Amino acid sequence: MSESSPQPGLDAARLHCRSLEEALGRFRENGLDRIADWGGRLADVLGGGGRLLAAGNGGSAAQAQHLTAELVGRYRRERRAYSAIALHAETSSVTAIGNDYGFDHVYARQVTAHGRPGDVLMLLSTSGRSSNLVAAAVTARQAGLRVWALTGRGPNPLAEAAHEALCVEADTTANVQETHLVAVHLLCECFDTALATPLARRAVLTHGGTP
């Protein structure tokens, strides 16, 4: 193909990158404080023996499993393993619960089984309207877990069902998922940084004052 020949899809690729840059710009403005806060609080929970449960559907399920893999394994720094479970990866449980109780219950029932008061449930959804994730959020709150949601544009039912939500403003589902991946990586970055920060210093950074 000569340099002067049109390249199919090039305009679409440029438009995609432009819309992603805009979504990331909005995320930098509105989401970084929340992600940093979540990272520090997740370090407190997991460092104290708690657990992270994570769930999503489709591509968001892969993002949830990406997050738990980074915590059980490692992100960048060598450190001990932490308890994190991607609920969709329990395939026998998912298919059995879906068959016996319906797909809306595939995560809520696992939250009942694995969640403990003080644990964190992270739910990822591009639409924020997945009924199985909303049901999991409601069940988790009743069981004493803290519920965080990564969603697309708000308001949406999942953001309303969670204790806290980070709603990504993006033009396409793909851009939402791409921004969620950045959020997952930054959450791991902030988690590791918090683990390496002495508790007294962390308290100063969070609440102000002097150590």
Among 59, 60, 62, 42, which residue's Cα sits nearest to residue 50?
A: 42
Q: Residue 35's pLDDT is what?
A: 97
Q: Residue 5's pLDDT is what?
A: 58
Whether the predicted pLDDT of 200 surpasses 50: no
Whether the predicted pLDDT of 192 surpasses 60: yes
Q: In percent, how much of the chain has pLDDT > 90?
A: 87
Burial 176-210 (b: 16+ CB within 10 A, else e): bbbbbbbbbbbbbbbbbebbeeeeeebeeeeeeee
User: In this structure, what is the dihedral angle of CA atoms 173, 175, 177, 183, given to the nearest 10 degrees?
Assistant: -150
Inter-residue contact 179 to 167 (CB < 8 Å): no
Whether the predicted pLDDT of 116 surpasses 80: yes
pTM: 0.88
Whether the predicted pLDDT of 198 surpasses 90: no
How far CA 163 is from CA of 76, 103, 150, in Å, comes to: 29, 23, 12
Whether the predicted pLDDT of 176 surpasses 90: yes
What is the distance in angstroms between the CA of the first residue and the CA of the last residue of the chain? 65
Whether the predicted pLDDT of 203 surpasses 60: no
The 10s digit of each residue's pLDDT in 64-99 is: 999 999 999 999 888 999 999 999 999 999 999 999
Residues with Cβ < 8 Å from 132, sequence gap 6 or more? 55, 57, 103, 104, 105, 106, 107, 108
Whether the predicted pLDDT of 202 surpasses 90: no
The CATH T-level fold of domain 15-207 is: Rossmann fold (3.40.50)
Residues with Cβ < 8 Å from 197, sequence gap 6 or more? 205
Q: Average pLDDT in the 23-45 region?
A: 95
Average pLDDT of the residues of the chain:
92
